[in-house]
Amino acid sequence: MAKNKRKQVTAFDGVYILKLVLYVIVGSLWVKLQRGDSAGSFSLPLGLLVGLVFTSHEHFRIDRKVEYAVLVVAALIGLIAPYGLFIKL
C-alpha cells in the first residue's frame, strides 16, 4: 500500500512542477506596440492576463496564491527580457 501512495505523490509533484513551468512561460509573454516614428511604445502583459484567467477557472487547484506569485514574477522578468511579440504600427 505504501508503494501506491508514493507513486501518487510523485505524479502530483510532476504535475505541480509542469504547471509552474507553464505559468512562467505564459506569464512572461508581453505584446509591445510601437509606432514607426519612434514617438513611443505601449506594452501589454498579455501572458499575465491569460494566466490569470487560466488560474481562476482551473479545476485542479493546488495553491492559487503561489500560482499568482509565479505569474507576477514571470511578468516582471518578461518586461525586462527582450522577447515577446513586437508590433510596429
The C-alpha atoms of residue 67 and residue 55 are separated, in whole angstroms, by 7
The predicted pLDDT at position 84 comes to 73
Q: What is the pLDDT of residue 42?
A: 81
Query: For residue 43, what are the contacts with CB-CB under 8 A and spacing of at least 6?
Result: 30, 31, 32, 33, 79
* Confidence (pLDDT) at 3: 59
pTM: 0.74
| Residue 50 CB neighbours (<10 A) | 14
Confidence of residue 65 (pLDDT cuts 50, 70, 90): confident
pLDDT digits (tens, 9 = 90+) for 5-57: 555 555 577 888 888 899 999 999 888 887 776 667 788 888 999 999 988 88
Residue 41: the pLDDT is: 78
Between these two residues, 82 and 49, which has the higher pLDDT value?
49
Q: Distance from first CA to last CA of the chain, Å, rounded?
A: 62
